[in-house]
Structure 1
Amino acid sequence: MSDQNMELRKAGLKVTLPRIKILSILESNPDAHLSAEDVYKSLIDAGEDVGLATVYRVLTQFESAGLVTRHNFDGGHSVFELDRGDHHDHMVDVEDGTVIEFTSEEIEKLQHQIAADRGFDLVEHSLVLYVRKKK
């Protein structure tokens, strides 16, 4: 049984050809933040016959199953990345939309401290920095 079949079954999803193909695209671009349109274009370029509506539906199912994480970085435009179980934050280049992942122990500690100073335990967070290359 292939790794993709096992991942789908482990996530509680039935193994179907569109799901396998879409998961394969995501796995072949593990650091990418792909829109449904990006996935669809990759399928078309590979000669696959999967509709855009199917891509949206499968990505939403993957999100519900915990296989991918959805981000809405700019203007409600959703992008998806494989959920690898690690926490990281993002920078988005406002010029070209490039997404850069980063981790910072200092930022993590500071966020926990800010929450604690106000009487809270930090349970989850999402940090997105919108950046522009220095001139």
Structure 2
Amino acid sequence: MSNNYKLTVQREATVRVLLENEANHMSAEEIFLRVKQKHPEIGLATVYRTLELLTDLHIVEKMNFGDRVARFDLRNDDHEHMHHHLICSVCGKMKEIKEDWLLELEKRLEREYGFLVKDHRLEFTGTYLTCPKNCKRVNKAAS
């Protein structure tokens, strides 16, 4: 941990769940259920406090994909910024984009406006052409 915070059993268990499920973007409740499997003594409030601390320390990123559920994702030191997401508004499927397509825009913002971007997040909401629920909706509309 950083900023002189100790790595407690509760914090380690929470981080371990995030590491083991990195691609899942889990909610606090989902993280709690996984933590509880190995550490039944750890409560939901403890997991919430741990996630807030990890967010404050920039170890995890708190995100919302429009479904009113806060989700948590480990920050990656390999990238200067967070990755981006494609989110299907019909079925909820999500795909990560690891490439940073906004670097040129950031340089332009600094050059033209004197604004230095520290971080950004980009989410595309739409529908996958392969979304089974989208196909049902399209077929109903065509009928």
TM-score by length of 1: 0.76
Q: Which has the larger radius of gyration?
A: 2
In the alignment, which of 98, 102, 109 is matched to residue 115 of structure 1?
109
Distance 1:114 1:29, change over 3 A: same
Work out whether residues 11 and 66 of structure 1, in 8 Å CA contact, stay in contact via their aligned partners in 2. no
Runs of 4+ in 1 over 6 A off after TM superposition: none
Q: For residue 36 of structure 2, what is the aligned residue in structure 1? A: 44
Partner of 1:12: 4
SS of the residue aligned with 1:39?
Answer: helix
Q: Distance in 1 between matches of 2:85 and 2:105?
A: 15
User: What is the percent sequence identity of the aligned residues?
Assistant: 25
In structure 2, the gaps of 5 or more residues are 130-134, 136-143
Distance 2:3 2:21 in 1: 20
Q: CA deviation at 1:12?
A: 3.0
Number of residue pairs matched? 126
1:83 aligns with 2:75: yes
The aligned counterpart of 1:61 is: 53
Paired position in structure 2 for 1:22: 14
- Distance apart, 1:30 and its partner CA: 2.2
Preserved CA contact (<8 Å) 1:66 1:83? yes
Greater mean alpha carbon deviation, residues 71-80 or residues 110-119: 110-119
Three-state SS of the structure 1 residue aligned to 2:91 is: coil
